[in-house]
Amino acid sequence: MTGHAASREHIIALSGGVGGAKLALGLARIMPSESLTIIANTADDFVHFGLHISPDIDTVLYTLADLANPETGWGRRGETWEFMGAMGGLGGETWFNLGDRDLALHVLRTNKLNQGATLSDVTAEMAHVMGIHVDVMPMSNDPVRTMVRTGDGLLPFQHYFVRDRCEPSVTGFYFDGIDGARPHPKLMRHLISRDLGAIIICPSNPFVSVDPILQLNGVRNVLKETSAPIVAVSPIIGGRAIKGPAAKMMKELGMPVSALGVAGFYKDLVDGFVIDEEDEASAAEIEALGMSVLITRTFMQSLEDREALAAATLEFAASLGKH
């Protein structure tokens, strides 16, 4: 993996949880660690039993540290559930699963936040102890909370996502706190830096994982101004989401449930869009939206798949050059 712009220029990857973390791992494995910054969505964060839980940051950290549970897509591998069992036995809420090992991170984070640390301080510290060498940062240190507009009313994201298993029909989203939230200062510094090589929008849920980052004050404007290429990888393959409610949300929002639909969502922002071989037939229509298209395998099953998609995406971005 030599010769692409990534070895000289800084890459910013915008990530949610499971899909984003897969590509982030691929990027981290093929790039010099000082050249990559992963920005994690924090609009899924919530407080449960008084604990500050950051699901997307944790999925990224666990994935990069090779601690993640590949079956669930969240939490840690080899987890035990004594705490949850005891909680249920006491009549406490059990709809949000907290494994024993995972719990240690939430307790430690909450404790550090209560002592005055910022979320990015804690994230950096946890990344360090987990042996992660790339920068992982929350999109903001200020609270932003996704609220899901549904046929059943307005639901906090985790109630919709976990408690109600994404069953309510979605009509829209609202990011509570977004107006007052400051994007992470290092994110803004990287975005205006001359060293910026590309911005990669990972194959994450466009509505609830990526949009909160894009809606932070100033981010969209800086992205529109930047001369660095912006490339998104489609989380939709053959009209389906690999995991999670992205496809269901698109249908309920009246959008085409396809890579084309995702490309339409990002069309004002991206220079390049990566689609799966399965979606080759829609390349021309996506190009007609005003972006270049790369067709490759985007389903990441193995570690090699993650590295190959990361390399192809970086090379594609480098080929788009400055605009």
| Piece of the chain touching ligand GDP by CB under 6 A; list 115-123, 140-148, 192-200, 202-210 | 202-210
Which residues is 93 bridged to in the sheet? none
Among 13, 16, 102, 223, binds ligand GDP (CB under 6 A): 16
Among 99, 138, 203, 261, binds ligand GDP (CB under 6 A): 203
Among 300, 311, 314, 318, binds ligand GDP (CB under 6 A): 300
4: part of which helix (H) or strand (E)?
A: none
Helix axes 303-320, 18-30, angle to 10 degrees: 80
**How many CB atoms are located within 10 Å of the residue 74 CB?**
19
Q: How far is CA 300 from CA 177, 203, 269, 309, 315, in A?
A: 34, 10, 25, 8, 18
- In whole angstroms, how close is the CB of 205 to ligand GDP at the nearest point? 4
- In whole angstroms, how close is the CB of 56 to ligand GDP at the nearest point? 5
Note whether 60 binds ligand GDP by CB under 6 A. no
**Which residue, judged by CB position, is nearest to ligand GDP in the bound state?**
19
Helical H segments across the chain, by residue range: 18-30, 55-64, 82-89, 100-114, 119-129, 157-158, 185-192, 211-214, 219-225, 246-252, 259-266, 283-287, 303-320
Residue 78's region, left for phi above 0, alpha for psi from -120 to 50, else beta, is left
* CA 317/CA 227 separation, integer angstroms: 12
- In whole angstroms, how close is the CB of 278 to ligand GDP at the nearest point? 10
234, 205 Cβ separation under 8 angstroms:
no
Q: Which of residues 165 and 323 has its CB atom nearest to ligand GDP in the complex?
A: 165
Place of tokens 């990669």: 200
| Piece of the chain touching ligand GDP by CB under 6 A; list 45-53, 77-85, 182-190, 295-303 | 295-303
- In whole angstroms, how close is the CB of 131 to ligand GDP at the nearest point? 22
| Piece of the chain touching ligand GDP by CB under 6 A; list 62-70, 170-178, 189-197, 233-241 | 233-241
Q: Which of residues 9 and 291 has its CB atom nearest to ligand GDP in the complex?
A: 291
Note whether 19 binds ligand GDP by CB under 6 A. yes
Q: Which of residues 181 and 275 has its CB atom nearest to ligand GDP in the complex?
A: 275
* CA 78/CA 67 separation, integer angstroms: 9
Q: Which of residues 187 and 300 has its CB atom nearest to ligand GDP in the complex?
A: 300
Instruction: Find the binding residues for ligand GDP in span 235-294 (CB under 6 A).
Output: 235, 237, 241-244, 246
For 222-235, letters b (16+ CB in 10 Å) and e give: bbeebebbbbbbbb
- In whole angstroms, how close is the CB of 312 to ligand GDP at the nearest point? 12
Instruction: Find the binding residues for ligand GDP in span 67-86 (CB under 6 A).
Output: 73
Q: How far is CA 56 from CA 28, 122, 208, 300, in A?
A: 17, 14, 11, 18
- In whole angstroms, how close is the CB of 15 to ligand GDP at the nearest point? 6
- In whole angstroms, how close is the CB of 70 to ligand GDP at the nearest point? 11
- In whole angstroms, how close is the CB of 41 to ligand GDP at the nearest point? 7
Binding site for ligand GDP (CB under 6 A): 16-20, 22, 56, 59, 73, 203-205, 209, 233-235, 237, 241-244, 246, 298-300
